[in-house]
């Protein structure tokens, strides 16, 4: 292999190769396997070069069963080896000046890729999984130890927990890395008679803090909802202009207008050349667009997507690798279908489409789709109709169907069915500004200005936005669509010159343009806005509406973009305005809050859909997933997590793929409950107010007789309430009666540790409801699964789901704002009361509160 041309070239390109080998048994593998490595990464040699020390036994090679060989069991690298290898690559990346992932919430402030998730946390949303780093690190600063006499520890992989059998370190300690400290061995490895054994001698160990030391660090934290929003610098500058320098804002508008007029004159010849070089269809679709001015604006403000304007002039691709913009976060998504395969299958996809396009069964819907399609023909966006026989060889035809939206229909072109979307590759993870981005801008403005601020807003909507951009000439063969002609009772075909609504390539292209317009509109005329596809939500101070409206319209018109003039979309600035199906009410901004709720149209639509499902007594998988998605979005505007149980139930048919007919009692209850909640619940309130913060440490335990010191056995819970000075003010501890625990699951199940870890927070919300009402809560839990369940509001366990639901409803009732964080077991002051140990807490002045079986039954029933 090494003498083949590609590897010969590789060797010529990289001269600093290292060669070594290692035995996999030194990384917990059950057999001794020698693996050779040739690499240019020195960290790999330091981390992996270990040879068997002979202090353990090996399984034999050869047959292990009928037609089964031991080699098959050793072909995959185990977790220990994979972790060690990954850590070595991470060390190499850092040595090459790659910026590492932030380790804590505060470190993530300057990490652009984390901004969106951080802002969601600052708005009160709870981040799921590992979207943002923890608020604080579990450990003290790493301490280096000589581990030459600890063989069980020497073979661990970095970041792995040290077994409890190694009593030299507190429970929960972890090996952070093995390294050289400049003494003995080779690269920190143990040696015998000068020979490297492969066993690391020195290790950096992360030691959990002592319980009250952890509390002392925890009380230094600022609750996310009390922190400042992270918005782009140009947004901050624009906000400050609007807030504190009205003369400067007017000057900025005038200067921008003068710059545009001057630049437009300067690029006239360049614009003519661009138009002359355009393919004919691009010239037609982009009529009125000032590409040269757009290009000048991009370069003037050093916008990263430098080729965007010229690519816009050439048209955008529908398949293949989408061009990287340099704007979105990097994340590779491979195409499922190669371009060659797509072209080879073109005839097959086209035949399948033409055979599948039929009437929908609703004459009015078919007629509306045909009318909408012919309207696009009149506007010059598509060409047709043609008979299917006119489709050229190699063309790919996608089916078009109608999506009913309120009082109109939207034509959708299914380019997934045509295979085109399957042949799309991405270098970046596309993103749009959501409701939370707009809410973050408003909250940031309130935080920077202070009391007395009055804001208004409106949504600018681009008219048929995708149709204002063209398909590149090389991909016109893939831009055909088939539509059912209700008069001729057969499908006819059209060729689209503009971007289809339903093509992944269209999304990639339009989001590049949308983000550019947003950024340039802020960098130039200081417009404060966000962009969700073709919806631009604009915010300004009351009194500045006319000036801002003029500059927004001038910005779009100078570049040739057409705004929607529909009466229900082009509304004036107002303290209460709708966008994306929600209503922003800024009436109370002056006193430090605003609300975001569902529009009456959305409420009515959801109510109608649920009533229809209940009347038909049927819920199909497609309806289940669609309704759950709509309800999830609507629920987000109510800002509660009490609906997770209902949403899980409603989404059941979608997950199982089976139609529910008739509806069972459980799903009927949750459908009715969700309908009432969406229609009647108040909108979510976002505040810029000072709230007191308290700290809750929780624990659940399942202890067998003789397992621990003390008299408590069975399933127990505990919690400690700590004030902002770090003093324990109240605590509880309770053993759950066995007759209650036995109802939590099957009779043969021995322990319910997950349920025991989930339960304490729900209990805390009840017993401390007065102390927690209206406050920000830091909730520390030492069980990852239980913490994740509270964040997501869902769990597989039936009892846990009920606990989560009751707890979330109590959260909403007492207006508490929890933020969940992990505490190592060793550092958890809630561990003692969960095991019946109250002496230290009582000595520190904490008062014990009563918990009884009735409360447990109320929460878990």
- Binned at pLDDT 50, 70 and 90, residue 194 comes out as very low
User: For the ranges 257-266, 725-734, 809-818, which has the lowest average pLDDT?
Assistant: 809-818
Predicted confidence at residue 198, as pLDDT, reads 61
For the chain, state the CA radius of gyration: 32
Q: What is the mean pLDDT of residues 39-67?
A: 88
The closest of 253, 257, 326, 327 to 293, measured between CA atoms, is 257
Q: 424 with 319: CB under 8 angstroms? A: yes
Q: DSSP characters for 589-644? A: GGGTEEEEEE-HHHHHHHHHHHHHHHHHT-B-HHHHHHHHHHHHHHHHHHT-STTH
- Binned at pLDDT 50, 70 and 90, residue 759 comes out as very high
- Binned at pLDDT 50, 70 and 90, residue 773 comes out as very high
Predicted confidence at residue 258, as pLDDT, reads 96
Q: Which tokens is 753 given?
A: 């540790």
Instruction: Give the residue with greater pLDDT, 283 vs 119.
Output: 283
Predicted confidence at residue 193, as pLDDT, reads 46
pLDDT tens digits along 799-851: 998 898 889 889 888 989 999 998 988 899 999 999 999 999 999 999 999 99
Q: Is the pLDDT of residue 142 over 90?
A: no
Instruction: Give the residue with greater pLDDT, 128 vs 585.
Output: 585
Predicted confidence at residue 494, as pLDDT, reads 95
Q: Is the pLDDT of residue 518 over 70?
A: yes
CA-angle at 240, arms to 239 and 243, nearest 5°? 85
Predicted confidence at residue 184, as pLDDT, reads 36
Predicted confidence at residue 131, as pLDDT, reads 72
User: For the ranges 245-249, 378-382, 456-460, 696-700, which has the lowest average pLDDT?
Assistant: 378-382
Predicted confidence at residue 141, as pLDDT, reads 66
Predicted confidence at residue 110, as pLDDT, reads 60
Could you give the CA distance from residue 721 to residue 654 in angstroms, rounded to a whole number?
Answer: 41
pLDDT > 90: percent of the chain: 51
Predicted confidence at residue 189, as pLDDT, reads 53
Q: 397 with 482: CB under 8 angstroms? A: yes
pLDDT tens digits along 446-502: 999 988 899 999 999 999 899 999 999 999 999 999 999 999 999 999 999 999 989
pLDDT > 70: percent of the chain: 94
- Binned at pLDDT 50, 70 and 90, residue 406 comes out as low
Q: What is the mean pLDDT of residues 126-150?
A: 76
C-alpha distances out from residue 177 to 19, 83, 471, 588, 652, Å: 23, 11, 52, 52, 44
- Binned at pLDDT 50, 70 and 90, residue 705 comes out as low
**CA dihedral over 286, 287, 292, 293, signed as positive or negative:** negative
- For the whole prediction, is pTM greater than 0.85? no
Strand pairing class (34-39; 18-23): antiparallel
Q: What is the mean pLDDT of residues 543-551?
A: 95
Residue owning tokens 């503009």: 498
Averaged pLDDT score across all residues of the chain: 88
Q: Is the pLDDT of residue 113 over 70?
A: no
Q: Is the pLDDT of residue 284 over 70?
A: yes
Residue owning tokens 């955008």: 316
Q: What is the mean pLDDT of residues 154-177?
A: 83
For residue 573, the number of C-alpha atoms closer than 13 Å in the C-beta half-sphere is: 19
Q: Which tokens is 609 given?
A: 């859909």
Predicted confidence at residue 190, as pLDDT, reads 53
Instruction: Give the residue with greater pLDDT, 34 vs 630.
Output: 34
Q: Is the pLDDT of residue 304 over 60?
A: yes
Q: What is the mean pLDDT of residues 263-290?
A: 95
Domains of the chain: 5-95 (no CATH), 105-137 (no CATH), 234-325+447-466+508-595 (no CATH), 333-429+470-503 (3.10.10), 599-686 (no CATH), 691-860 (3.30.420.10)
Predicted confidence at residue 707, as pLDDT, reads 56
């Amino acid at each position: 292999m090494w003498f083949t041309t590609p590897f010969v070239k590789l060797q010529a390109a990289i001269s600093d190769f290292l060669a070594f080998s290692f035995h996999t048994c030194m990384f917990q593998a059950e057999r001794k396997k020698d693996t050779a490595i040739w690499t240019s990464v020195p960290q790999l040699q330091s981390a992996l070069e270990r040879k068997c020390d002979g202090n353990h036994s090996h399984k034999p090679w050869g047959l292990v069963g009928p037609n089964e060989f031991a080699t098959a069991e050793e072909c995959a690298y185990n977790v220990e080896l994979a972790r060690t290898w990954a850590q070595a690559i991470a060390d190499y990346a850092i040595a090459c000046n790659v910026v590492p992932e932030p380790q804590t919430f505060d470190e993530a402030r300057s990490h652009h890729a984390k901004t969106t998730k951080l802002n969601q946390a600052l708005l009160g949303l709870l981040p799921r999984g590992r979207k943002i780093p923890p608020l604080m690190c579990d450990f003290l600063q790493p301490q280096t130890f000589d581990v030459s006499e600890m063989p069980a520890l020497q073979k661990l992989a970095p970041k792995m927990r040290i077994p409890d059998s190694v009593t030299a370190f507190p429970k929960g300690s972890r090996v952070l890395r093995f390294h050289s400290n400049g003494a003995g061995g080779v690269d920190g490895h143990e040696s015998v008679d000068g020979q490297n054994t492969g066993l690391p001698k020195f290790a950096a160990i992360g030691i959990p803090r002592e319980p009250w030391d952890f509390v002392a660090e925890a009380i230094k934290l600022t609750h996310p909802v009390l922190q400042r929003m992270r918005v782009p610098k140009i947004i901050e500058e624009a906000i400050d202009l609007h807030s504190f320098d009205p003369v400067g804002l007017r000057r900025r508008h005038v200067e921008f207008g003068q710059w545009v007029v001057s630049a437009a004159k300067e690029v006239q010849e360049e614009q003519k050349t661009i138009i002359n070089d355009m393919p004919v269809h691009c010239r037609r679709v982009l009529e009125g667009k000032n590409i040269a001015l757009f290009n000048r604006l991009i370069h003037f403000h050093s916008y990263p997507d430098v080729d965007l304007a010229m690519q816009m002039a050439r048209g955008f691709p529908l398949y293949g690798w989408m061009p990287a913009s340099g704007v979105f976060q990097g994340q590779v998504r491979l195409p499922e279908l190669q371009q060659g395969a797509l072209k080879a299958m073109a005839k097959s996809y086209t035949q399948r489409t033409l055979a599948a396009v039929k009437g929908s069964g609703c004459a009015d819907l078919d007629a509306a789709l045909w009318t909408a399609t012919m309207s696009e023909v009149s506007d010059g966006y598509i060409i047709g109709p043609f008979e299917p026989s006119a489709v050229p060889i190699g063309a790919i035809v996608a089916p078009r169907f109608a999506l009913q939206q309120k009082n109109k229909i939207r034509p959708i072109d299914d380019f997934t069915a045509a295979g085109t979307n399957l042949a799309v590759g991405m270098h970046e993870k596309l993103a749009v500004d959501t409701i939370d981005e707009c809410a973050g801008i408003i909250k940031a403005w309130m935080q920077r200005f202070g009391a007395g601020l009055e804001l208004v807003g409106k949504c600018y909507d681009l008219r048929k936005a995708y149709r204002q951009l063209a398909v590149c000439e090389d991909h016109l063969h893939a831009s055909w669509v088939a539509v059912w002609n209700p008069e001729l009772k057969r499908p006819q075909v059209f060729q689209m010159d503009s971007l289809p609504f339903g093509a992944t390539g269209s999304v990639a292209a339009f989001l590049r343009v949308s983000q550019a317009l947003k950024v340039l509109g802020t960098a130039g005329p200081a417009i404060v806005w966000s962009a969700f596809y073709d919806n631009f939500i604009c915010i300004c101070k009351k009194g500045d509406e006319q000036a801002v409206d003029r500059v927004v319209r001038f910005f779009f018109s100078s570049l040739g973009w057409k705004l929607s003039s529909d009466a229900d979309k082009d509304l004036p600035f107002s303290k209460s305005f709708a966008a994306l199906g929600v209503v922003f009410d800024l009436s109370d901004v002056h006193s430090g809050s605003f609300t975001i709720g569902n529009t009456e149209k959305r409420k009515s639509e959801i109510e109608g859909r649920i009533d229809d499902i209940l009347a038909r007594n049927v819920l199909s998988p497609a309806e289940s997933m669609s309704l759950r998605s709509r309800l999830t979005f609507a629920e987000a505007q109510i800002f509660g997590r009490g609906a997770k149980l209902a949403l899980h139930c409603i989404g059941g048919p979608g997950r199982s793929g089976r139609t529910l007919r008739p509806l069972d009692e459980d799903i009927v209850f949750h459908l009715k409950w969700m309908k009432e909640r969406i229609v009647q619940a108040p909108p979510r309130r976002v505040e810029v107010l000072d709230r007191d913060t308290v700290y809750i440490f929780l624990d659940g335990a399942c202890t067998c007789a003789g397992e621990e010191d003390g008299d408590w056995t069975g399933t127990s819970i505990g919690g400690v309430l700590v004030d902002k000075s770090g003093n324990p003010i109240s605590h509880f501890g309770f053993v759950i009666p066995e007759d209650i625990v036995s109802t939590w699951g099957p009779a043969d199940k021995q322990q319910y540790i997950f349920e025991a870890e989930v339960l304490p927070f729900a209990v805390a919300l009840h017993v401390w409801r007065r102390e927690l009402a209206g406050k920000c809560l830091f909730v520390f839990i030492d069980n990852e699964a239980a913490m994740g369940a509270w964040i997501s509001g869902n769990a597989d366990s039936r009892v846990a789901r009920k606990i989560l639901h009751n707890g979330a409803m109590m959260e909403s009732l007492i207006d508490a704002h929890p933020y969940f964080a992990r505490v190592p077991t060793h550092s958890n002051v809630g561990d003692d009361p969960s095991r019946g140990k109250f002496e230290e807490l009582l000595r520190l002045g904490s008062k014990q509160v009563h918990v009884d079986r009735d409360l447990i039954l109320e929460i878990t029933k």
